[in-house]
Amino acid sequence: MPSFDIVSEIDSHEIANAVDQANREVGTRFDFKGTNSHYDLKDNVITLHTESDFQVQQMRDVLVNKLVKRNIDTSCLTSNNIEANGKQVRQVITLRQGIDTDLGKKISRILKDSKIKVQASIQGEKVRVNGKKRDDLQQAIALLRETELDMPLQFDNFRD
């Protein structure tokens, strides 16, 4: 029986490269001279450190630009509020990956409502889709690509 997995993963090596490039650009830009502005990356959390709210917005734009150039979907970013602490201002950006149960239920509901002859089952942080025909699975992939979800999806492990 043909099947495939729906996952939501990000390449941590590409994230690290994008953060390094953004750090380099902020370090050489004239409007950030002497502000000790930098990015920190730890466990899928990027922290922006600078001196003003306006500079945080500019740093976020630089980071998003670098991520897009490295083919990372920016819909996996979750920004917290800007925190002011004396002279320093910081913002925490969390990188989400994996399909939680709510999104898994939403995906299975979309597939069930579409009347395509496939079954979806939630297995941890991925959703496995089974069907009798390969064409049905390809229809399901096309349907999910058209659907606007708040997480980027990848389709792995396609088996006949």
Q: What is the pLDDT of residues 101-156, one digit of tens each?
A: 898 999 999 999 988 899 988 988 899 999 999 899 999 999 999 988 888 888 99
Asked whether residue 63 carries a pLDDT value surpassing 90, the answer given is yes
Q: How confident is the model at residue 48 (pLDDT cuts 50, 70, 90)?
A: very high
| Residue 59, C-beta contacts closer than 8 angstroms, at least 6 positions apart | 22, 26, 37, 39, 48, 50
CB 136 within 8 Å of CB 117: yes
Element (H, E) at 86: none
Q: How confident is the model at residue 69 (pLDDT cuts 50, 70, 90)?
A: very high
Q: Is residue 1 pLDDT above 90, yes or no?
A: no
Verify that 111 and 147 share a domain, yes or no: yes
Do residue 115 and residue 82 come from a single domain?
no
**How far is 157 from 149, CA to CA, in rounded Å?**
21
Domain boundary among 70, 95, 120: 95
Report whether 154 contacts 24 (CB < 8 A). Answer: no
3-state class (DSSP) for residue 82: coil
Q: What is the mean pLDDT of residues 77-88?
A: 89
What domain count does the chain have? 2
Q: Are residues 102 and 88 in the same domain?
A: no
Task: Please give the pLDDT value at position 143.
Answer: 92
Average pLDDT over residues 34-46: 91
Q: In CATH, what number is assigned to the domain containing residue 150? A: 3.30.70.860
- Give the CATH number for residue 17: 3.30.70.990
**Among candidate residues 74, 68, 62, 66, the one with its CA nearest the CA of residue 17:** 66
The domain boundary, picked from 45, 70, 95, lies at 95
Does 18 have pLDDT greater than 90? Answer: yes
Domain carrying residue 74 = 12-95
